[in-house]
Amino acid sequence: MKRFDGKVVLVTGASLGIGRGIALCLAEEGANVMVNYRSHRDEAEAVVTAIEEMGGQALSWQADVSDRDAVEAMIKEVVQHFGRLDVVVANAAHSTREPILEAKWENIQSTVNVTQFGVFHTCQLAAQQMAKQSLNGRSRGKIVIISSIHEEMGFPLSSGYNMSKAAINHLARTMAAELAQLRINVNVVNPGWIDTPGERQYFSEEEIQAAGKRIPWGRIGVPDDIGKAVAYLASDDADYATGSVLRVDGGFMVGLSLPEGD
Yes or no: say if 4 and 55 are a contact pair by the CB < 8 Å rule: no
For 65, list phi and psi in degrees, rounded to 5: -65, -15
Catalytic residue chosen out of the listed positions 37, 161, 232, 240: 161
Give CA angle at 27 (21, 32), nearest 5°.
Answer: 125
pTM: 0.95
By CB atoms closer than 10 A (0-12, 13-18, 19+), residue 138 is middle
Q: Is 129 helix (H, G, I), strand (E, B) or coil?
A: helix
Q: pLDDT higher for 202 or 20?
A: 20
- 248 near 225, Cβ under 8 Å? yes
One-letter amino acid for residue 148 of the chain? S
Question: In the chain, what are the domain boundaries?
Answer: 8-248
Count of other CB atoms within 10 angstroms of residue 180: 13
Q: What is the pLDDT of residues 62-90, one digit of tens each?
A: 999 999 999 999 999 999 999 999 999 99
88-102, 104-118, 233-247, 248-262: which range is least confident on average?
A: 248-262
Quick check: 262 pLDDT over 60? no
Class of domain 8-248: alpha beta
Quick check: is 202 catalytic? no
Q: What average pLDDT does the structure give for the chain? A: 95
What string of DSSP letters covers 206-234? HHHHHHHHHSTTSS-B-HHHHHHHHHHHT
Q: Give the pLDDT confidence of 227-241 residue by residue, as tens digits.
A: 999 999 999 999 999
Q: Please return the burial class of 106, using the count of CB atoms within 10 Å of its CB with bins 0-12, 13-18 and 19+.
A: exposed
CA distances from residue 56 to 41, 93, 151, 217, 258 in whole angstroms, order as listed: 20, 26, 34, 33, 48
Contact call for residues 128 and 192 (beta carbons, < 8 A): no
Given a cut of 80, whether residue 261 has pLDDT beyond it is no
| Residues 6 or more apart in contact with residue 70 via CB below 8 angstroms | 63, 64
260 band by pLDDT with thresholds 50, 70 and 90: low
